[in-house]
Structure 1
Amino acid sequence: MADTTFPAGPRQVPSHALIGFFGLTFAITWGVVGIYLVAPDWAAARFGEISGAHPFFFLATWAPAISAFVLVLRYGGRAGLKAFLSRLTLWRGSPGWAIFILIGIPAVFMIGSLTKGGPLLTPLPPDGVGPILAVLFLMLFLGPIEEFGWRGVAQPILQRHVAPLWAGAIIGTVWGLWHLPAFFLSGTVFSGWNFFPFLVGNITLAILVTPIFNAARGSLLWPMLFHWQLINPFWPDAQPYDTWILVAVTAAVVWQKRETMLRRGGAVTEVIPGGTGERA
């Protein structure tokens, strides 16, 4: 008889790998930042003063993505990595969410800024719009890259075990704590912020992006665009009002989407599309 068996697809990333993902992510980021906290003079003399443009800052920021790629390659190999990256091409999503990302998020910052007596947009520098465009392009390779980890690995695994609302809340909490060392590091934007509102904001944003992620069937593109808008340098400083507005928006979204946010059924659970094997 002819052989009718088919080659198995790439192995799925199992749930227990989430521990390794979080552990490696924190080890990279906290290890890099820890050098500057424990031995600042020694680190500055050998590696230069830390700043938002320092290679170590990029390394620390990319830790979730690095950890995600390590795990995907570990369990799925090159075929798994290819399938994982195919989630970047999942562009079909809700038109309503597209409008929210393109218009709603800027509106939050503008309203928050006007509430505190600030400008509608970030004032242009003396050199014109060019420097802000350069920063906007640079930001594309910072925060959005994190989504390979948070939404690429952590969100699907957590949604195997808890409802999307709680998966988002867990990721938001971890995401906020992951940033904690930067609040003690001079030379970064975090050093001038208060951690508690930032943590609340992270939890809020992680919950808010969850229905966007699931509506787009595990797309990495939409969460990256969402993240990019949040750090768009054209939007004015609206702290703390932007956080409280987003809390209200998120509460309304959770209530409206409660059928899907409070139940696991239908949530995205695959790290590697079409991956095989045990998920436990």
Structure 2
Amino acid sequence: MASAPDEQNRAQTVLVVPFFLLTFGLAWSVFAPFLLWPEWAEERLGALHGRHPLFFLAVYAPALVAISLVWRSAGSRGLRHYFGRLLLFRASLAWYAFLVFGFPLVFFAGALIKGEAGSAPLLKEPWMTLFPLALIMLVLGPVEEIGWRGFALPLLQRFLLPFWSGLVLGVIWAVWHLPAFVLGTTPQAAWEFLPFFIGSVSCSIILTALFNHARGSLALSMLFHFQMNNPLWPDAQPYDMYLFAAASCLVVWMNRAGLFSSREAVTDLFGDEAETAR
């Protein structure tokens, strides 16, 4: 007969399925009117762009679904433990160097290959313009990580090795963005989807290694995501995506012991580590 903890773990693990279904359902339902009835939607709701409230709702879908499922599964105590991961900052200097210096290096190198190294807003725009953009990016994309890495990744790592968990989650993460590439009014509309797909999967694998190294830190996962969207860096598509793919190969090699073993995989949804940090 299975023990109570085993039953609880199984009950939590199967939540990964409704998480993905609800996350896609909520986000894609926001995009659906603009794709199916564009004139009607724009007339009544306005053009869907990066600062539109509905765009925020779509981006927040992974976090909203994860919070709802944690609340339903473990109540307020579970949420306290879950958000305790926001207090985890412990990581090696090498990872902090990657977070602080690696991202601008990738984007500027990609822009150099593209022949647009001087196009970075950091070099052209006044700080009074960039600061509000940075604040928007800080409260937009990074919030996704409350769901993707905070919820889905620990559950995937219960039955897949970290490398495969990161790869599977990266594929799902990339495909989830697909409607934004179809609409002509979103930031992704100017990009090609295939390089974005390659870059997203690569970044997911890198972030998996960081997430496990930092014992499930939501804070560092969100910082990683912010640096991906940082408005200071140049638009280096598609070359930045290829450079992230190269970086992921290096990260996999350097972290192969942890990525191809379940020994260091973070699988706890509600963050025992957060209790220690507090």
What's the counterpart of residue 122 of structure 1?
Answer: 120
Aligned-partner residue type, residue 212 of structure 1: L
Q: Between Structure 1 and Structure 2, whose CA radius of gyration is higher?
A: 1
Deviations 1:223-267 (A, max 9, x none): 100110111111111122211111111101111211111111221
Residues 1:116 and 1:125: Cα distance change in structure 2 (over 3 Å): closer
Identity %: 42
Equivalent residue for 2:276? Answer: none
- CA RMSD, Structure 1 to Structure 2 (Å): 1.8
Q: Which has the higher contact order (CA 8 A, sep 6+)?
A: 1
Whole-angstrom CA distance in 1 between matches of 2:119 and 2:100:
15
Q: How does 1:230-269 map to 2 (within 5 A)?
A: 230-269=228-267
The counterpart of 1:213, out of the listed 208, 211, 214, is 211
Paired letter, 1:119: A
So what's the TM-score if we normalise by structure 2? 0.91
Q: Distance in 1 between matches of 2:42 and 2:135?
A: 27
- CA drift of 1:121 comes to 5.8
CA–CA distance in structure 2, aligned partners of residues 125 and 25 of structure 1: 37
- Paired residue type of 2:93: P
Q: Which residue of 1 aligns with 2:59?
A: 61
Residue 4 (structure 1) aligns with: none
Q: Is the 8 A contact 1:110 1:121 kept in 2?
A: no
Equivalence for 1:107: 105
**Which structure dedicates a bigger proportion of its chain to helix?**
2
CA contact (8 A) 2:154 2:268 kept: yes
Aligned counterpart for 1:161 among listed residues 156, 159, 171: 159
**Which consecutive unaligned segments of at least 5 residues does structure 1 have?**
1-7, 276-280
For 1:92, which of 74, 85, 90 is the aligned residue? 90
1:182 to 180, 183, 190: 180
Q: Which residue of 2 aligns with 1:22?
A: 20
Q: Tell whether 2:11 aligns with 1:49.
A: no
Report how many aligned residue pairs link the two structures.
266
Alignment check: 8 A CA contact 1:121 1:234 kept:
no
Q: Verify the 8 A CA contact 2:216 2:271 in the aligned structure 1.
A: no
CA displacement at 1:128 relative to structure 2: 2.0
Deviations 1:106-151 (A, max 9, x none): 1111111112211256146987221111101110111100000011
- Provide closer, same or farther for how the CA distance between residues 124 and 262 of structure 1 changes in structure 2, counting only shifts above 3 A: closer
Asked if 2 retains the 8 angstrom alpha-carbon contact of 1:84 and 1:273, the reply is yes
